């Protein structure tokens, strides 16, 4: 009997030490694709097999119709050894007040549009299409129908869906999308619009409120995306006024046009139209910090299955990558292996 117990614990120990196969890649979330030496170096260094490229947004136009928004332009073709995974961002409001016939037509339009862009990228085909949508309990029926219709058009191709933390936690209300796998977005988890000094991009304690055992219970394969980006959140009169995409931390810290306030926010001392700012606007600069990314990865590793997964960083952009060392991103990948 004693030998049986010893054998059990040996098997358990070996199982716990089992390595996970991790493929590291990136999102490409720009409106123009062109070759960049720094970005290509990262792909080559991590031996990335795939690049997840945003192809277009789907939103309503001024007349209430559904239209493609900001589709990507391919100035260059993707390297031959790099598989393209097209990603379509679906604005949740598009799914409201949409009937079955409209959803079927939308599915057909999306697939046709993606097929055309894939050819522009120099690829004859693709193996996976990902749909990115922050669906809710009120839009889940229409979203799931859209996914089913897209799947019919794809044939043997894989269809995946992004999964936000609230959708992971509230599985009963949000439902399980009818796809082959999901990709958990481990960012944009705080209240962006709330005035104050919190970091709405990545907060380890906030992550723990949503993930944990919910990861182990999810009934399909899960990939993971982690943030590398930063942004400047603008408040006007204490109210959220948007994101200044051109404003960098260096602008805030090395420019007499800004004053750092006692609460850690920055205040504009004058109108700054180049940044979309007015005098007295307050700015909260948020960044993806390596230590937060590392702690989040250690936490996720406890609950993810040992099955192979794709680890994506958001996103592939030279200015963003310059904020990290390659060995730091290597460490993140190593934690999950």
Quote the CA–CA distance of 182 and 161 in Å, as a whole number.
Answer: 5
235 forms beta bridges with: 240, 282
Task: State the pLDDT at residue 8.
Answer: 42
Residue 185 and residue 164 in contact, taking contact as beta carbons nearer than 8 Å: yes
- CATH number, domain 20-229+288-336, options 1.10.1330.10, 3.40.50.150, 2.40.480.10, 3.20.20.80: 3.20.20.80
Task: State the pLDDT at residue 2.
Answer: 52
Q: Chunk the chain into consecutive blocks of 10 residues (it has 337) and report each block's average pLDDT, rounded to whole numbers.
A: 47 59 97 96 96 97 91 97 98 94 97 98 98 97 98 96 96 96 94 92 94 91 97 96 92 91 94 96 96 97 94 96 96 97
Task: State the pLDDT at residue 190.
Answer: 82
Instruction: Calculate the alpha carbon distances from 215 to 25, 200, 212, 219 in Å.
Output: 21, 21, 6, 9
DSSP H helices in 17-164:
37-45, 100-120, 140-154
User: Quick one: DSSP state of residue 23?
Assistant: E
H, E, C per residue of 128-152: EEEEEECCCCCCHHHHHHHHHHHHH
Quote the CA–CA distance of 197 and 263 in Å, as a whole number.
Answer: 7
| Count of helix runs (H) and strand runs (E) in the chain | 12, 16
Q: Locate tokens 């332009």: which residue? A: 73
Note if the bond before 315 is cis, omega within 30 degrees: yes
175 forms beta bridges with: none
Task: State the pLDDT at residue 289.
Answer: 95
Q: Which residues of 68-89 are buried (b: 16+ CB within 10 A; e: fewer)?
A: beeebebeebbeeebbbbbbbb
Domain with CATH 3.20.20.80 in the chain: 20-229+288-336
3-state class (DSSP) for residue 271: coil
Residue 245 and residue 230 in contact, taking contact as beta carbons nearer than 8 Å: no
CB atoms within 10 A of CB 132: 21
Strands, DSSP E only, in the chain? 22-28, 32-33, 50-60, 66-69, 73-74, 83-90, 128-133, 158-163, 181-185, 222-227, 230-236, 239-244, 258-260, 266-268, 282-287, 309-314
Total residues belonging to the chain: 337
According to DSSP, the β-strands at 50-60 and 258-260 are unpaired
Quote the CA–CA distance of 315 and 54 in Å, as a whole number.
Answer: 11
User: Quick one: DSSP state of residue 68?
Assistant: E
Q: Locate tokens 């120099």: which residue? A: 122
Task: State the pLDDT at residue 6.
Answer: 52
Task: State the pLDDT at residue 224.
Answer: 98
């Amino acid at each position: 009997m004693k030998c049986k117990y010893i054998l059990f614990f040996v098997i358990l120990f070996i199982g716990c030490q089992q390595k996970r196969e991790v493929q590291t890649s990136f999102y490409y979330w720009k409106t123009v694709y062109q070759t960049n030496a720094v970005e290509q170096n990262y792909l080559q260094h991590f031996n990335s097999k795939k690049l997840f490229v945003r192809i277009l947004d789907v939103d309503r136009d001024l007349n209430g119709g559904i239209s493609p928004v900001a589709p990507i332009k391919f100035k260059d073709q993707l390297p031959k050894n790099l598989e393209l995974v097209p990603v379509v961002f679906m604005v949740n409001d598009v799914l409201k007040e949409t009937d079955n016939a409209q959803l079927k037509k939308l599915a057909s339009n999306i697939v046709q549009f993606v097929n055309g862009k894939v050819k522009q990228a120099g690829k004859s085909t693709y193996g996976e299409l990902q749909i990115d949508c922050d669906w809710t309990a009120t839009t889940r029926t229409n979203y799931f129908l859209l996914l089913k219709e897209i799947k019919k058009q794809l044939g043997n191709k894989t269809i995946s869906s992004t999964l936000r933390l609230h959708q992971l936690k509230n599985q009963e209300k949000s439902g399980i999308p009818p796809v082959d796998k999901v990709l958990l977005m481990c960012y944009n988890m705080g209240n962006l619009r709330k005035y104050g000094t919190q970091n709405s991009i990545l907060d380890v304690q906030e992550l723990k409120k949503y993930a944990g055992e919910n990861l182990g219970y999810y009934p399909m394969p899960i990939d993971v995306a982690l943030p590398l980006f930063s942004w400047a959140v603008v408040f006007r009169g204490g109210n959220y006024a948007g994101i200044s995409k051109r404003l960098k931390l260096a602008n805030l810290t090395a420019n007499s046009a800004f004053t750092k306030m006692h609460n850690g926010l920055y205040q504009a001392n004058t109108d700054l139209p180049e940044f979309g700012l007015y005098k007295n606007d307050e700015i909260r600069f948020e960044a993806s910090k390596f230590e937060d990314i590392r702690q989040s990865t250690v936490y996720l590793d406890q609950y993810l299955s040992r099955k192979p997964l794709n680890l994506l960083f958001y996103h592939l952009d030279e200015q963003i990558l310059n904020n990290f060392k390659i060995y730091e991103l290597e460490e993140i990948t190593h934690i999950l292996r």
